[in-house]
Structure 1
């Protein structure tokens, strides 16, 4: 198959969503609402087709009100194509769309894909995931990190406070970003480690606050700072709603108090805050390599229901 002979183009409008849904992925149910709410745009949703047959598709996602895409989070090919054609068609689509949609002076958005926890153990699933990774690699991407996506079902008991810690809302943005900077010492988070190669801990904290935490529309009085009863911060937790799910958006313990079991109590407080809202579930995520944090979530009843593959062009 000669990819150059295919029709490669963006969607002309929302009315072509059915064409885009000719291939399938976990995010399909969110696409219509994302288009309606402005998290996606038709000109950032591309297809490669041969007549009426859809052979590949991709889409970028952006935060509400953002001018630039933040993530490439849909990249699919027709898995019935021969192996070489799958990669060639996918690469041609991705290169063509990137050259049109992305600002060459700006960083290339990450590619992220949700996959089953045991994706390496099922040959057909592994092939599909590795095909998409190979397509991105052909355009210069590399694997950055694999993350656990976690889910806590409603109805599970939440441990009551032990009294070892007291909780309150942050006094202001400055206090929280100061704590966020402190917990970057010894961090195991891949994105935070990357940030620290180009900026100070305080700069990284302020950037994350502005880019993520400040954008949540859920109440900020859900957020909690954990302290010892006689004073002094131990850590913090940021329960929130990210527009799709209630989440534990950020959880950390300051370096001098790690290894004392406080993480369990801080996570329990964040879980209590969201449980009090009568939510259908609570989601969280952490790097596969962040073993202590993953273990804390497991102890609190959060189940690894999915993985997230992150690839980067930087």
Structure 2
């Protein structure tokens, strides 16, 4: 492919969204609302064009009002291109877009890609995922974690309360942060473990709370702490609603109570809270390597509908 054949540029505005969506991906149906709500900006959405034909695209997502993106979540290349051209074009577009889009001096936002649950089993799908990973690796990124994305649907029977725990709305922020700090001991979550490698458990809990949990606009009284009959906390579950779905935002069993199946009680309670709101589905995710949590979701009737590949530059 001749470099002079191509135009690399950001979108001129929301009116070019149909052009941008010429390349398929599961997020396409969300992009119009993301632009309207300020979660995306045209200058964060880049195309490689030959004439009027999109050959590749990249885009970042951010929180409304933010001056810098928080996540790279679109990287697509025309599957009709030769294999070597796909990777070369993707790298060229990504490098150009990163240089123009990201603040200088700080780490690049992580990359996340949704993939079919059986992506390794289909040669074409496996090649598409590997092409994207190669493009990211050429720019200095590395695989960070693979996650399972899970979904509970209303036709699934609700887990019945076991009676082993009592539940109450989550306490004030300081008490919740204390529980979150304690729950980080022995965590299997890759993002938590990365935080603990560079900060104290308390700082990691505060960071998670301030950067994610405190931003949810759904009612805080959905959040639950599970306790033994005598009042001793066992763990907590934080059901919420983000900009797209009802979610199990966070669930944890305190270290001294692990191994007793209490995660099932906590997850069942969080699922019941959201199901009572009449939501069309409940989404959740966990690391591929966190088999205890994955099995708990499976027991509660959650379906593994998708995966997610995460890569980082840090």
In the superposition, the TM-score normalised over structure 2's length comes to 0.98
Counterpart CA distance in 2 for 1:167 and 1:309 is 34
Deviation string 1:8-46 (CA, Å, 9 cap, x unpaired) is 010010011111011110100000000001000000000
Deviations 1:235-262 (A, max 9, x none): 0000000110000010000000000011
- Superposed CA RMSD in Å reads 0.9
- Mapping of 1:154-233 within 5 angstroms? 154-233=154-233
How far is the alpha carbon of 1:123 from its aligned partner? 0.4
Mapped partners of 1:154, 1:116: distance in 2: 22
Q: Does 1:139 align with 2:114?
A: no
2:299 corresponds to 1:299: yes
Q: Deviations over 1:57-99 (max 9, x none)?
A: 0100001222211110000001110111101110000000000
What residue number does 1:89 align with? 89
CA contact (8 A) 1:72 1:111 kept: yes
Residue 129 in structure 1 maps to residue 129 in structure 2: yes
Q: How does 1:70-85 map to 2 (within 5 A)?
A: 70-85=70-85
Q: How many Å apart are 1:155 and its aligned residue? A: 2.5
1:247: which partner in 2?
A: 247
Matched ranges for 1:4-153 at <5 A:
5-153=5-153
Whether the 8 Å CA contact 1:3–1:92 is kept in 2: the answer is no
Q: 2: CA distance between counterparts of 1:244 and 1:4? A: 40
The 1:304–1:82 alpha-carbon spacing in structure 2 relative to 1, beyond 3 Å, is same
TM-score when scaled to structure 1?
A: 0.98
- Structure 1 residue 164, shift from structure 2 partner: 1.2
Measure the CA separation in 2 of the matches of 1:49 and 1:159.
51
What's the counterpart of residue 279 of structure 2?
279
SS in 2 for 1:206: helix
Superposed CA deviations along residues 170-193 of structure 1, whole A, max 9, x for unmatched, are: 221111111111111000000000
Unaligned runs of 5+ in 2: none
Distance 1:34 1:113 in 2: 17
* Structure 1 CA distance for aligned equivalents of residues 42 and 288 of structure 2: 33
Say how many residue pairs are matched. 314
Cα deviation for residue 5 of structure 1 reads 4.2
Give the 3-state SS of the residue equivalent to 2:231 in structure 1. coil
Q: Tell me the distance in 2 between the aligned counterparts of 1:67 and 1:253.
A: 36
Structure 1 stretches of at least 4 aligned residues deviating more than 4 Å after TM superposition: none
SS at match of 1:252: strand
The CA distance in 2 between the partners of 1:295 and 1:254, in whole Å, is 18
